[in-house]
Structures are given as C-alpha cells and as structure tokens.
Amino acid sequence: MTSAISLTIRKYSWKYAGNLAFWIQRLTGLGLVFYLILHVHTIHDLRDPAKFDAALATFSKPFFKLGEIFLLATVILHAMNGIRLTMVDMGVGLTKQRQVFWYFTIGLGAALLIAGALPMFIYGILRHQP
Amino acid sequence: MSARVINWYLQRVTGAALLFLLVLHFWVEHFTAEVRTPHGLTFAVIQQRFFHNPWFVAVDISFLIIALYHGLNGVRNIICDFSIVTKPMRNVVTVALILFGLGVAYWGIMAFVGNEHLNPLNPKGATVAAAR
Amino acid sequence: MPPLLPLVELEADILILGAGGAGLLAALHATTINPRTKILIAVKGLLGQSGCTRMVQGGYNCVLNPNDSFEKHFEDTIKGGQFVNNQDLAWALVNDSPDRILELENKCGCLFDRNPDGTIHQKPFAGQSFDRTVHKGDLTGIEIMANLRDWTLEQENITVLQETRGLDLLTDTNGKVVGALLLNNRKGEFVSVKAKATLVATGGGATMYQISSPSLEKAGDGMGMAFRVGAEFIDMEMMQFHPTGLLVGKSIATGGLLEEGLRGAGARLFNKDGERYMERYSPDKMERATRDVVSRSSYMEIMAGRGTPSGGVLIDATHMGEKFLLDNFRGMVDRCREYGFDLLHSRVEVSPSAHYHMGGIRIDLNCKSNIDGLFAAGEDSGGVHGGNRLGGNGVADSIVFGARAGDAMAEYIRTAKAPGDVSTQARQLMEKWLAPLNREGGENPFKLRDQLERVMWRKAGVVRNGKDMAEAIPEIIEIREKIEQANGAGAPIYNAPWNEMINTVNLGVCAELLTRSAILREESRGAHYRQDFPEKNVKWLKNITVKPVNGDLKWDTVPVKFTRLKPPELIEQEKSLVH
Amino acid sequence: MATYQIRVARSGSDGATDSFTVELDHRMTVLDALFLIQREQDPTLSFRCSCRVGMCGTCAMRINWQPRLACQTRVLTLKADTIVVEPLAHLPVMKDLVVAMDPFFEQWKRVKPALHPDPKRDPKKLAVVPPTSEFGKQAQGKRDCITCGACYAACGIVGSNEEYLGPAAINKAMLRLMDPRDNAVDERLEELNDENGVWRCHTQFNCVAACPKGINLTDSIMKMKRSLLFPKKFHDKRNFVDNP
C-alpha cells in the first residue's frame, strides 16, 4: 500500500512548482464546485424566509465563520493561480514560472488572505454576539 | 473554431469575469451599509434590494450561470484527463454535466423567479418588506 | 542442451543494415524510385538515435554559392586525402552533395542555419578554400537524423527492426549475398532476412581504439560481416584521429569531441610543462594545422612523457574571453561543464581520439562491392577520402553514397531473381552465434575488448612503426581466437556481454586488416604516419586492397587513377623526365 | 574518488532494486556507474546508451526521481551518496532500465512528424527563412529535441491518460505547422485539436523541468492552444517565403 502511494506520488513528481500549482487548482476547483452547489441550495431557501433566516443565523456562528475564512483561502488560491494560468496561456512569464508561482500565487495570495481574513476573524469570531 | 477552443477560451474569460463578480458579491453581502447591522445579511435585506434594484438579481443569476459553467467545465476537464473515459463516455459525461448544470441553475433561479415572497405584487411579500 | 532461440524468417526486396545517414537515404531513394519496394531496415540501437550521423557536430560540405565550384571542392577533397582518393568517387561526392542538401531540406524537412537575410549559411572549415559547410549550430547530425527518422516513420513500405543487429550475411551457392542473419536484442530472437539486395551501412571501426569518438554501439559490424563473405577492402590503414577528444578520466565520455572550430578560433595547446608544443611541430600554422598534424604532435608529446598524468594535453581557450566563447561555442562550454571542466576560465585536458575510418569495403560508383547483391555505403565503404577526410565531408559521404546505393539497389532488384531458401544456412550460423550464450566459463568479452583497444592504441595508433605493428599482429590474432571462446551467458534479451563479444569479433577483423595494411604502406601519408618512414613517397600513390580468399588474405596494391587531378609531385616528375 | 551506493531498479519482481557500491571520481556520471556495474559486478544489468555525450537521447532514465540523461548527470551534482536509478515512467519496461519507446512514438506519429512538402514549391530552391521571422525564431531552440522521452515520462497527464499527445509531439507539430515548406496543416491541426491533443495540457511544467535540452515545451503547447483560435493563419504561412 505504502509503495503504491509512493509510486503514485513519484509518478506525479509533485516537487515541481507547476505540478504543485496544478494540484492546488484541481483540489480547490473541485471544492469550490461543491461549495457552489451547497450555496445554491441555501439560496433556494429564499422561498421560505423563516428557513432562510435560520440558515443565515447558523452560518454566523464562529465555526462557520472559520469555514468562511477557509473558503476565502480556497477562493484566493484558485483565483491567484487562475491568473497565473491565464498569464501562462498568454505566454507571459513562461521562463519564470517557478518565481511567478511562489511569489505571485503563494506570496501575494497569502497577503490577500491575511488582509481579508483578519476582519472576518475579528468581527465574526472574536466579537461574535450570539 | 471548434467547441474545444471555445471551451478553453471561455474558461479563461469566465474566470476573469468570476474574479470581478466574486469581489462584487463579497462586497455587497459582507461590507455594504445594509448588512453591517447586528443582524447582518437577512431575508429582509435581500427583499429590499430586490424591490428597489432588480439588477441585484440579474447579477446574481449571471454569476450563478458563469460559475456553473466554469466549475462544471473544470470538472469535465478533470474527468477527461483519464484515458479510461473513452470518447463515447466523454459525450455521456458532457451531457450529464450539462443536465446537472441546468438543474442547479434552475434550482438557483427559482429562488428568485416565481418566489411569492419576492413578488412586489404579492400582498404577503410586500407586507414582510414593509414590516422592516 | 542449449536453449535455442526462435528464428523468425522474413523477406524483403531490400535489406538495409544500419540506419544512419547512409541507410536512411538509401531507403529514401529506393522508395522514391518505387514506392512499393519492400524495405527492411535493421538498426542496432533506436531508429535515428544511434550511429554516428547523429553525432555529427560540424556540418555538411556542399557547393551552393555561385562563387564556389565543384572543382574547388574536389581539389580540396583530393588534396586533403593526399591524392590516394578514388577520384571518380570523390567527384561523385562533390557533384551530388548540393542535390542531396536540397533533398534533405525540401523533402525531409531539415532546416539548416540561415543568414540574416534568410539564405542558407555556410561556415568555414579546416582545409577548405571556400566557406561551404552547411550546418545547424554545432548539432548538425541531430537535425539530419531526426528528420530522416520522421520521414521513415511515415513510410508504409519500410519495416524497421529496432535494436536488431546484423550477425552474418547469407549467401547462395554462387556466393551471391541474398540477405542476412540478424539478432533482435529486444525480443531475444534471431531473424533471417531474405533480400534481393543488401546494403551494409553500419559505420566504421574507430571504436577499436582506447580513446575514440564514435557512438558506443558502432563496432565495424558491416565490415566484419562483409569480410566473412569475401568482400574486398581498400585503404584499411587510414584511420583519422581527431586532435581534441575530451579526456574525462575513467569516464565513458572520454573521447567525446571538442569541436574543431575551437582551434580554428585560436585555442592553444599546452603540454604539462606549460609549453606550447605546436611551436616545435608546425611553427607557421601552430594549432591551426590539419587534424593529422595536430593529433600526431599531441600524441608524441604524450608519449615523450610531457603529457598530463592521465595521458593528455591541455587546450586553453581562456584568452578568447568569456563572451566570445559563450557566443560561439556554447555547446562546447556546456559539454565541458557537464564533466566538471571550466572551458571559460581554465585549461581542459584533451587527447587525440580515433574518429573516422577512411578505409572500408571497396565500392564502385553505384556502391556495389565485389560481391553480387552486396552494397556498401557510408563509413563502411572506402576510397572516397583517401588518406585523410576533410571535416564536413563525412556526413556528405554518408548522404551522397547512401542515396546512390538506394538508386542502384532499386535498379538492381528490378532484374534480380528472388533468392532461394536460406533457412539451413541461417540455422548453421545461428548455432555458431548461440554458442557463447550457452557457454560456461570462457573469456570475459569486456576484458578482451579493452585489451584490443589498448593494443591498437599503443601499437597501431596515431604514430606507427613497423616493429610495434609486427608485435601487435600476434596479439590481435590471439584476441581474435580468444573472443570466439568468450562467455556471453545470460538472458537472450539485452545481453551486454554477448553483444560485446560479437562487437569484438568484428572489431578484431577491422583491427587485423588495419594493422596489416599499415605495415605494408611504408611511407607517411595523411592520417597514416610511420616513424620509420616519416616522408611521403611518390611510389606510394597506390591503394592497398585486401580480400579473403580461401581462408587467407589476398593483398594487392593498385595505382591510383588520376582521372581528374594529378598530384604536383607526379607532374614534377614527368616534367623532369621530359627535360 | 568517492563511494556511492547505486540502487538500480531491476525488472523481474515488481519494484525490486539491486544495490551496488561503486567508486567514482568527481567527473563521472551515472552512466559511468552503470557501465562499471555492468562490467565488474553484474553483467546482466541492461540499459540503453549510444553516444554517451548527450546527443542521442537513449539513456534517459529516472535518477533520484527525476527524468534525466544518465550521461549528463554527474554523480557529484546529485549531492547524495545513494543514487536511485529507475526506468522512465509511463513507458513499458523491457528489461531493467530499458523501456519501450513505442507509446511515445505512437503519439509522435499522430502529428505527422515528417515534412509533407508543398507541391507548389520548387524543390530545387532552398526556402528563405530569416532568423527573425516567426518560424526562424521558434525553430531556434525548439528543434533541439532528441526524443529522449524525458518530458513524456515527467508529464503527469500522460500518467493518467496514455492517449495524450505528450509535450514532444506537440512541439514537433508546432514546428511543422510553422514551416513554410509544409502542407499538411489540416491533418495536424485536427490531431492537436483532439480532446487528447493540446487540450489535455494543464501547464504543469514538468516537461520543461525534465527536458535535458532546455526546450520550453509548455511555451510550444500554449502557442498551439492560442493558434487554434485562429487556425487559418497556418494556411497563409507561405507568405514570408519568396518561393511560390
């Protein structure tokens, strides 16, 4: 079993930056599709205002706020990597793809995440009023 | 131009559009004056918006459709990356994903369209709005 | 009971052994003449990725510029070959090469380097009166072979047996060659091919030397096979040594070349004492002297104990500056760096390296050998380059004569009768080659090959003398006897010792012919240098030919026919006779 | 001289490796180590090698997980005492380190790698290709492919989809498509535009990292993707050749 896993990892030689980016894009993408469907399901509750408000109340609990931060992280990763991919598609920065990945996608993405997550953390979790 | 080129191209275009829409979405649902109350976003806020500015719904619905296209196209790409998915199977996958996407889109759109609570002409819906 | 490998029997119109430039061009031409010709190509390595055309760095000589002329190219070739070339063959080379370059470009898709205005670029090369070498950077061979390979892949009439080597040619009762017995290393099976015409184009035997530049699978297979069916050979003593083979200690990369252009651009050679020894050997031309002169000088330095501890001399290109080297010799700088040498800032160890066998199977203008049904082209054949080959004429030779062989074979098979049954003969030969696979004990083929390489390097190498070579003969014979008893036991597929044994058998043939020829030629000419006869002798404007007759070697010397150009010394002589 | 432990994957049982101890100096490569093992320790070891100086592309193998040319990999630069040598991934193993290149060349053949000369051109004239033209520029470094298969073995997509063209074939197709002498535009475009053509590339850059010749294969693939938006331009490519 372990050998099967290690063989698989080797097969997809994850240590290259581009490959890591590929897996990030795949996994975050799938996660976001899943979230989108859940989200549509919640929105559908607009047909029943009471149920909708109840759902929103649940979602403002700190646990779900934490989840929202996680969602933000996923979105930022997917978006920043998406921008990088579009740059690649346009033929920009092809020779510097490792640097683009680490500095732009990961570096700038982390900065954006902190900027976005901090207010969510402070207002949604620390100062949460039930 | 074949469907594959268009798909590839649209995936990029919709990606860019989603980036813009997402920022907008985040802003209106989390940071505008209406939602920065102790209650945050509620049904009433949405109803207000719906009555005063129908563009909210238009944007929301296009956001939904673009996101579904982008997401499900991505899922299709992942599935097609495996050679066990043969050509006839790929067509089945495509059709299945389109149907699924249409279903989700219908489910989402139905939240606004034909929703009696969001119909200004419906006395019951209007009452709720006036109560706030 | 020894395990018997399967014997697969195939049939083709044309059988081509070797898929370098010559082999594939022959296939191209035969296909062009008749697209339904059934062609079978056997390659020892991977199609298009083995052999020496692949390793060509310099380029391809041909007359394209209106200011250049066939006569000039011909004269350069003959002068370079020290007037012992077969002039008809050399003229054919010169005459055909521009057409072949057009064919390579417009039919096969090669793209050689261009001038800024988009016309083809021709670079200068040593020993030539005009800049006529067509090239693709310093990787010309890859361009040619990759495109020829791609062409071959798309042909439906051509079957390619990859990693399949020739073992022996098959003959009918009249001695006519009717195919060959092959060994498919990939599947571990013998293949007997019945063919109306057979071309050997497997490359020469330069790998019989300790330090050599060709690719590793090259082992004079074609010459060995042709010798065993009685082909006639010419100029076997002529072995070119390249002066700057990289010396990478014990690494297998030793012998890999540093491009000639480096010396042309002004790189200097030093011995271990820091002496610029070319001052002593060629004071006017220095390092820019021809390949044979520089190789010889380096070799003498090394033999006199003035070489580096690992037996080489030092090439110094540092004075040319980092920028110049990077702009012009990027490939060479990189190659040095791969083995931890710094060409930009320090001296690099080099040594003469066995490079090209000018001699080979004696052919006519249609690449026919003296044996019916057997054709030879490329390095397997001899006579085109005489005593020394010009840089850039080697790949031109393969391409031009490969094409000629293709044309000739297409013509030949039109009238040739379908060969009779060969399976009995194939089975007999198969048993002979199977013996080492089933042998217990016996000699180590790797050791014997090393021994052969050392003997040849020391006693019949760059600088030769009668005494040493006479000593070498019994040693070579001993190795040839021992190798027949070598141990090639192991799996039938990808069996390295077994293949090395077969290689050494063929190299042994080349080595013996080379040494015996070299003993006969009592003068120094071109690449052949005798310490005991250091001067060129007008009496030796002859070719030495040899063929096996009834288990013995039949030697002959044939005066060169000067059909187009007479050597100046002969003209002098005639003048003095008139007066 | 230093002692290295070479672990070589052997065919036979699945994933089994044999360990050899060899003495190598600082200039010696992985290929040297393999030759030493074959000559002195285990003659049954099999691997491929032709030119031994990085021109033939037959000695590509996985060295410490990365596809490389054995002849160009000095053991010193690996900075490890133990070197794991395995056959290339995604290609069937014939014996030990020898892989069958057939899957690679099957894909290679799909794009019609040979030149399909334009019958309208004069075969007696050489094409005029200024190095500054689009084809001239692309042909500069991208022609250096030695078909070693390293990119094919490194590509993650090939691992899950053996019907994908692979980086080397797409690079070849791009060169032929740009070639003003060539005529088989539609056939090649059809293969490239296949579901398993260029569209399977997800810019992992593994091929670029693996290519021993430093060819930017992802760049070629991206060029093809973009070009497929306007495929007509390949039919007009003869415009920059003054040879009707």
Encode pLDDT of A97-126 as tens digits. 888 999 999 999 999 999 988 988 887 788
Please tell me the predicted confidence (pLDDT) of residue D231. 85
Residue C47 C-alpha, separation from nearest chain D C-alpha, in angstroms: 10
Counting residues of chain C whose pLDDT is more than 70, the rounded percentage is 99
Phi, psi angles (nearest 5°) of residue C14? -125, 130
Angle at D144 between CA D138 and CA D149, to 5 degrees: 115
Amino acid at B119: N
Tell me the chain A residues in contact with residue B41 when contact means C-beta distances shorter than 8 Å.
Answer: 56
With bands split at pLDDT 50, 70 and 90, how would you rate the model's confidence at A50? Answer: confident
Residue the block writes with tokens 């098979």: C413
Query: Measuring CA to CA, how many Å separate C46 from each of C363, C507, D159?
Result: 27, 21, 23
Q: Where are the domains of chain B?
A: 3-131
The helix or strand, by DSSP H or E, that contains position C544, with its residue range, turns out to be strand C542-549
Strand order in the sheet with D17-24: D17-24, D2-9, D82-86, D60-63, D66-69
Residue D20 C-alpha, separation from nearest chain B C-alpha, in angstroms: 38
- Classify each residue of A75-98 as buried b or exposed e, where b means 16 or more C-beta atoms within 10 Å of its C-beta: bbbbbbbbbbbbebbeeeebeebb
Domain CATH for C464: 1.20.58.100
Measured between CA atoms, the residue of chain D closest to residue C147 is: D114
The residue-averaged pLDDT of C510-536 equals 95
Could you give the 3-state DSSP secondary structure of residue C7? strand
Tell whether D2 lies on the interface with C, counting CB pairs under 8 A.
no
- Residue C526 included in any domain: yes
* SS3 per-residue string spanning C254-303: CCCECCCHHHHCCCEEECCCCCCCHHHHCCCCHHHCCHHHHHHHHHHHHH
Residue D60 C-alpha, separation from nearest chain C C-alpha, in angstroms: 12
Tell me the chain A residues in contact with residue B38 when contact means C-beta distances shorter than 8 Å.
Answer: 129
Could you give the 3-state DSSP secondary structure of residue D224? helix
Please tell me the predicted confidence (pLDDT) of residue A6. 59
β-pair partners for D95 = D98
With bands split at pLDDT 50, 70 and 90, how would you rate the model's confidence at B125? Answer: low
- Residue C196 included in any domain: no
DSSP string, C453-483: HHHHHHHSSSSB-HHHHHHHHHHHHHHHHHH
Strand order in the sheet with C268-270: C239-246, C348-357, C313-316, C268-270
The C-alpha atoms of residue B56 and residue B118 are separated, in whole angstroms, by 13
- Contact, C167 vs C429, CB < 8 A? yes
Counting residues of chain C whose pLDDT is more than 90, the rounded percentage is 78
Contact D39 C446 (CB under 8 A): yes
Topology adopted by domain A2-126 = 3 helical TM bundles of succinate and fumarate reductases (1.20.1300)
pLDDT above 80 (res D240):
no
- Contact, C213 vs C354, CB < 8 A? yes
Tell whether B55 lies on the interface with D, counting CB pairs under 8 A.
no
- Contact, C542 vs C517, CB < 8 A? no
Residue D229 C-alpha, separation from nearest chain B C-alpha, in angstroms: 6
- Residue C24 included in any domain: no
The C-alpha atoms of residue C358 and residue C378 are separated, in whole angstroms, by 10
Q: Report which DSSP code applies to A74.
A: H
Looking at the structure, do residues C350 and C446 belong to the same domain, yes or no?
Answer: no
β-pair partners for C134 = C60, C122
Please tell me the predicted confidence (pLDDT) of residue B131. 47
- Contact, C449 vs C513, CB < 8 A? no
- Contact, D92 vs D99, CB < 8 A? yes
The C-alpha atoms of residue D121 and residue D179 are separated, in whole angstroms, by 13
**CB-based contacts of C259, cutoff 8 Å, min separation 6:** C57, C58, C138, C244, C329, C331, C332
Could you give the 3-state DSSP secondary structure of residue B109? helix
Contact D193 B8 (CB under 8 A): no
Q: Measured in Å, how far apart are chain D's first and last C-alpha atoms?
A: 62
Residue B54 C-alpha, separation from nearest chain A C-alpha, in angstroms: 16
Q: Which chains touch D (3 or more CB pairs under 8 A)?
A: A, B, C
Tell me the chain A residues in contact with residue B68 when contact means C-beta distances shorter than 8 Å.
Answer: 36
User: Domain B3-131 classified CATH 1.10.150?
Assistant: no
The CATH H-level (homologous superfamily) assignment of domain D2-99 is Beta-grasp domain (3.10.20.30)
Q: Where are the domains of chain A?
A: 2-126
Please tell me the predicted confidence (pLDDT) of residue D65. 85
The residues of C annotated with a catalytic role in the active site are 242, 263
The C-alpha atoms of residue C189 and residue C150 are separated, in whole angstroms, by 27
Indicate the residue of D157, D229, D231 with minimum beta-carbon distance to B81: D157
Contact D229 B83 (CB under 8 A): no
Contact C338 D54 (CB under 8 A): yes
- Residue C218 included in any domain: no
Please tell me the predicted confidence (pLDDT) of residue D244. 38
pLDDT digits (tens, 9 = 90+) for D10-47: 987 666 889 999 999 989 999 999 999 999 999 999 99
β-pair partners for C160 = C41
For residues A11 and D76, the model is more confident at D76
Contact D199 B1 (CB under 8 A): no
Could you give the 3-state DSSP secondary structure of residue C19? coil
Tell whether B79 lies on the interface with A, counting CB pairs under 8 A.
no
pLDDT digits (tens, 9 = 90+) for C423-433: 999 999 999 99
Residue A91 C-alpha, separation from nearest chain D C-alpha, in angstroms: 7
Please tell me the predicted confidence (pLDDT) of residue A9. 58
Percent of chain B as helix, strand, coil, to the nearest 5: 75, 0, 25
The C-alpha atoms of residue C538 and residue B58 are separated, in whole angstroms, by 100
Phi, psi angles (nearest 5°) of residue C233? -115, 160
Q: Where are the domains of chain D?
A: 2-99, 102-241
User: How many contacts, defined by CB atoms under 8 Å, are there between C and D?
Assistant: 186
pLDDT digits (tens, 9 = 90+) for D47-72: 999 999 889 999 999 998 889 999 99
Residue the block writes with tokens 């184009």: C201
The C-alpha atoms of residue D199 and residue B79 are separated, in whole angstroms, by 13
Touch between chain B and chain A (3+ CB pairs, < 8 Å)? Answer: yes
The residue-averaged pLDDT of C511-539 equals 94
Please tell me the predicted confidence (pLDDT) of residue B123. 61
Domain boundary among the residues C355, C381, C404 is at C355
Tell whether D106 lies on the interface with B, counting CB pairs under 8 A.
no
- Residue C546 included in any domain: no
- Residue C568 included in any domain: no
Amino acid at D104: F
Tell whether A88 lies on the interface with B, counting CB pairs under 8 A.
no
- Contact, C339 vs C233, CB < 8 A? no
Average pLDDT, chain C: 92
Residue B119 C-alpha, separation from nearest chain A C-alpha, in angstroms: 11
β-pair partners for C165 = C183
**CB-CB neighbours of C172 under 10 Å:** 17
pLDDT above 50 (res D243):
no
The C-alpha atoms of residue B78 and residue B81 are separated, in whole angstroms, by 5
β-pair partners for C357 = C239
pLDDT above 90 (res C362):
yes
Cα torsion C281, C285, C288, C290 to 10°: value is -60
Average pLDDT, chain A: 86
Question: C282 in the Ramachandran plot: left (φ > 0), alpha (ψ -120 to 50) or beta?
Answer: beta
Indicate the residue of A11, A89, A98 with minimum beta-carbon distance to D159: A11
Query: Measuring CA to CA, how many Å separate C393 from each of C125, C189, C206, C429, C454?
Result: 10, 37, 17, 37, 29
pLDDT above 70 (res A14):
no
**CB-based contacts of D113, cutoff 8 Å, min separation 6:** C150, C153, C154, D169, D172, D173, D176
Tell whether B126 lies on the interface with A, counting CB pairs under 8 A.
no
For residues D118 and B97, the model is more confident at B97
Angle at C501 between CA C495 and CA C503, to 5 degrees: 100
Please tell me the predicted confidence (pLDDT) of residue D233. 84
User: Best mutation site among B27, B28, B43, B124 for testing chain A: the one with the most A CBs within 10 Å?
Assistant: B43
The helix or strand, by DSSP H or E, that contains position A11, with its residue range, turns out to be helix A2-11
Q: What is the CATH number of domain D102-241?
A: 1.10.1060.10
pLDDT above 80 (res A10):
no
- Residue C386 included in any domain: no
pLDDT digits (tens, 9 = 90+) for A56-73: 888 888 899 899 999 999
Which of B40-44, B121-125, C64-68 has the highest mean predicted lDDT (pLDDT)? C64-68
Q: Which chains touch C (3 or more CB pairs under 8 A)?
A: D
The C-alpha atoms of residue C35 and residue C417 are separated, in whole angstroms, by 19
pLDDT digits (tens, 9 = 90+) for C401-454: 999 999 999 999 999 988 988 999 999 999 999 999 888 888 999 999 999 999
Looking at the structure, do residues C346 and C442 belong to the same domain, yes or no?
Answer: no
User: Best mutation site among C105, C155, C495 for testing chain D: the one with the most D CBs within 10 Å?
Assistant: C105
The region of weakest confidence among B31-45, C253-267, C272-286, D202-216 is B31-45
Domain CATH for C307: 3.90.700.10
Indicate the residue of D66, D159, D203 with minimum beta-carbon distance to A12: D159
Tell me the chain C residues in contact with residue D172 when contact means C-beta distances shorter than 8 Å.
Answer: 150
> H helices within chain D, ranges in order?
30-36, 102-110, 134-142, 150-154, 156-160, 167-178, 185-192, 206-210, 217-227
User: How many contacts, defined by CB atoms under 8 Å, are there between A and B?
Assistant: 68
Query: Measuring CA to CA, how many Å separate C108 from each of C101, C153, C404?
Result: 10, 12, 17
Contact D195 B90 (CB under 8 A): yes
Contact residues, B window 4-33, toward D, CB-based 8 Å cutoff:
4-5, 8-9
User: Best mutation site among A12, A26, A101 for testing chain D: the one with the most D CBs within 10 Å?
Assistant: A12
For residues C188 and B112, the model is more confident at C188
Query: Measuring CA to CA, how many Å separate C231 from each of C177, C381, C484?
Result: 10, 11, 21
Measured between CA atoms, the residue of chain A closest to residue B61 is: A40
pLDDT above 70 (res A128):
yes
**CB-based contacts of C169, cutoff 8 Å, min separation 6:** C177, C179, C180, C181, C198, C200, C225, C226, C228, C229, C374
pLDDT digits (tens, 9 = 90+) for D96-148: 999 999 999 999 999 999 999 988 888 898 988 998 888 888 888 899 899 99
Query: Measuring CA to CA, how many Å separate D207 from each of A81, C44, C50, D220?
Result: 19, 28, 23, 11
Domain that holds residue C256: 243-355
Please tell me the predicted confidence (pLDDT) of residue A97. 86
The residue-averaged pLDDT of B9-22 equals 94
Phi, psi angles (nearest 5°) of residue D126? -85, 140
